[in-house]
């Protein structure tokens, strides 16, 4: 049997009060999956289960197209697990995909945070990209410390949010929140590929970083 990775995607489909739709960012799921799926089995969970809303729907991206046109993948994405259905002991790693929806339903989901804490404290890897690090804000370890306290991380930056015109629709600014929780923030120029590896915590900055995040997670898993 293959080792398993748990992908987390948002169930939230509204971009604040903008009247615009959002969800998980398609390439932030497909690009890491394209690297990891050959060797690892991947399960998908979302806060509400079922079919999650999707954003970043670019089918000119050949990786997106390959996955979107796969009936097996569509079947899996139409029936994501709820957090209560997850057995944390089954997974070597957890990966939080981005998309603006993650800002609204990842941070306060205690069950997902408990799953991530279990995986990490049992020698596994916690990873996230873009807005996915909203899911690592409130992971509390057995010693009472926040997982990201004293760690170096990256995420979609305040500058990127401003340039994207979406800051006013966010419930908080992710870069600021990560720093406020005790993390050191390490980013690069807006909308360029950047991944930070701090032990068994791996974070990426934006959609352009999703493939590199997958490669970094693959390498880290090989070295466990």
Residues belonging to the active site: 130-131, 160
- Calculated CA dihedral for residues 34, 184, 9, 139, nearest 10 degrees: 120
3-state DSSP call for residue 20? Answer: coil
214 φ, ψ (degrees, to nearest 5): -60, -40
Place of tokens 């954003």: 55
Residues near 224 by Cβ (< 8 Å), separated by ≥ 6? Answer: 92, 123, 124, 125
Looking at the DSSP bridge assignments, the partners of residue 196 are 203
Which residues does 127 contact at the CB level (< 8 Å), separation at least 6? 93, 94, 95, 96, 201, 202, 203, 204, 213, 216, 217
Residue 105 to residue 103: CA distance in whole angstroms: 6
């Amino acid at each position: 049997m293959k080792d398993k990775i748990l992908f987390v995607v948002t169930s939230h489909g509204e971009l604040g009060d903008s009247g615009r739709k959002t969800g998980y960012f398609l390439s932030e799921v497909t690009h890491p999956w394209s690297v990891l799926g050959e060797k690892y089995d991947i399960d998908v969970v979302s806060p509400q289960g079922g079919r999650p809303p999707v954003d970043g729907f670019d089918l000119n991206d050949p990786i997106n197209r390959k996955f979107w046109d796969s009936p097996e993948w569509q079947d899996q994405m139409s029936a994501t697990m709820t957090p209560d259905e997850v057995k944390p002991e089954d997974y070597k790693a957890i990966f939080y995909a981005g998309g603006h929806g993650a800002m609204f339903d990842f941070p306060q989901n205690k069950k997902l945070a408990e799953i991530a804490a279990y995986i990490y404290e049992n020698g596994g890897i916690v990873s996230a990209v873009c807005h996915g690090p909203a899911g690592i804000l409130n992971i509390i370890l057995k010693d009472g410390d926040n997982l990201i306290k004293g760690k170096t991380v990256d995420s979609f930056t305040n500058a990127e949010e401003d340039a994207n015109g979406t800051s006013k629709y966010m419930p908080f600014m992710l870069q600021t929140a990560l720093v406020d929780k005790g993390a050191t923030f390490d980013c690069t120029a807006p909308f360029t590929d950047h991944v930070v590896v701090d032990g068994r915590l791996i974070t990426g900055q934006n959609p352009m970083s999703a493939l590199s995040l997958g490669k970094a997670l693959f390498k880290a898993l090989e070295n466990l």
